[in-house]
Amino acid sequence: MRHRAGRSAAVGLVAVVLIAAGCTQSAEKPASDFKEADGKAAAQRWVTQEFTPSTLSKDQQLAEMDWFIKAAAPYRGMQINVVSETITTHQYESQQLAKAFAEITGIKIKHDLIQEGDVVEKLQTQIQGDQNIYDAYVNDSDLIGTHSRGDYVVPLSDYMAGEGKNVTSPTLDLNDFIGISFTTGPDKKIYQLPDQQFANLYWFRYDWFTDPDIKKQFKDAYGYDLGVPVNWAAYEDIADFFTNKVNGNGTIDGKKTYGHMDYGRKDPSLGWRFTDAWLSMAGNGDPGIPNGLPVDDWGIRVENCRPVGSSVTRGGDTNGPAAVYALTKYVDWLKKYAPREAAGMNFSEAGPVPAQGNIAQQVFWYTSFTADMTKEGLPVVNSDGTPKWRIAPSPHGAYWKTGNKLGYQDAGSWTLLKNTPQDRRAAAWLYAQFVTSKAVSLKKSIVGLTFIRESDIKSQYFADNAKKYGGLIEFYDSPARKQWTPTGTNVPDYPKLAQLWWQNVATAVTGETTAQQSMDNLAKQQDEILSRLERLSREQQGYGGQCAPKLNPERPAQYWYDQPGAPAPKLADERGKPETLDYDKLIATWKQGN
pLDDT digits (tens, 9 = 90+) for 105-135: 999 999 999 988 899 899 999 998 878 999 9
Statement: residue 15 has pLDDT above 70: no
Please give the model's pTM, rounded to 2 decimal places.
0.91
Statement: residue 2 has pLDDT above 60: no
Model confidence at 593, in pLDDT bands (50, 70, 90)? low
Rounded to whole angstroms, the Cα distance separating 333 from 539 reads 46
The pLDDT score that the predictor gives to residue 584 is: 86
**pLDDT digits over 313-363, tens only?**
999 999 999 999 999 999 999 999 999 999 999 988 999 999 999 999 999
Model confidence at 506, in pLDDT bands (50, 70, 90)? very high
Statement: residue 500 has pLDDT above 70: yes
Q: Which of 591, 402, 428 is nearest to 27 (CA)?
A: 428
Rounded to whole angstroms, the Cα distance separating 498 from 495 reads 5
For residue 358, the number of C-alpha atoms closer than 13 Å in the C-beta half-sphere is 13
- Locate all alpha helices (DSSP H) within 540-580, ordered by sequence: 557-561
The pLDDT score that the predictor gives to residue 395 is: 95
Rounded to whole angstroms, the Cα distance separating 415 from 147 reads 9
DSSP notation for 37-49: HHHHHHHHHHHHH
Say which range, 196-210, 373-387, 437-451, 528-542, has the weakest mean pLDDT. 528-542
Q: What is the mean pLDDT of residues 150-173?
A: 97
The pLDDT score that the predictor gives to residue 591 is: 66
DSSP notation for 414-427: EE-BTTS-HHHHHH
Statement: residue 481 has pLDDT above 90: no
The pLDDT score that the predictor gives to residue 588 is: 78
Rounded to whole angstroms, the Cα distance separating 205 from 242 reads 11
The pLDDT score that the predictor gives to residue 12 is: 52
Asked if 208 and 251 count as a contact pair (C-beta separation under 8 A), the reply is: no
Residues in the chain: 594
Q: What is the mean pLDDT of residues 50-63?
A: 98
**pLDDT digits over 174-191, tens only?**
999 999 999 999 999 999
Q: Which of 1, 11, 267 is nearest to 120 (CA)?
A: 11
Statement: residue 22 has pLDDT above 70: no
The pLDDT score that the predictor gives to residue 277 is: 93
* Residue 417, phi-psi category: left (phi > 0), alpha (psi -120 to 50), beta (remainder): beta
The pLDDT score that the predictor gives to residue 25 is: 40
Statement: residue 590 has pLDDT above 80: no
The pLDDT score that the predictor gives to residue 20 is: 36
Q: What is the mean pLDDT of residues 188-206?
A: 96
DSSP notation for 250-278: TEETTEE-BS------SSHHHHHHHHTTH
**Helix or strand (DSSP H, E) at 142:** none
Rounded to whole angstroms, the Cα distance separating 506 from 368 reads 25
Model confidence at 540, in pLDDT bands (50, 70, 90)? confident
94 or 590: which carries more pLDDT confidence?
Answer: 94
The pLDDT score that the predictor gives to residue 29 is: 61
Q: What is the mean pLDDT of residues 44-48?
A: 98
Rounded to whole angstroms, the Cα distance separating 567 from 559 reads 10
The pLDDT score that the predictor gives to residue 28 is: 53
Q: Which of 552, 495, 520, 500 is nearest to 295 (CA)?
A: 552
Say which range, 8-17, 165-174, 389-398, has the weakest mean pLDDT. 8-17
The pLDDT score that the predictor gives to residue 289 is: 87
Statement: residue 14 has pLDDT above 60: no
The pLDDT score that the predictor gives to residue 21 is: 38
213's CB contacts (< 8 A; 6+ apart) are: none
The pLDDT score that the predictor gives to residue 541 is: 72
Q: What is the mean pLDDT of residues 56-82?
A: 98
Q: What is the mean pLDDT of residues 518-530?
A: 98
Model confidence at 13, in pLDDT bands (50, 70, 90)? low
Rounded to whole angstroms, the Cα distance separating 304 from 516 reads 29
Task: List 255's β-bridge partners, or say none.
Answer: 252
Mean confidence (pLDDT) of the chain: 92
Rounded to whole angstroms, the Cα distance separating 543 from 41 reads 49
What percentage of residues in the chain have a pLDDT greater than 70?
94
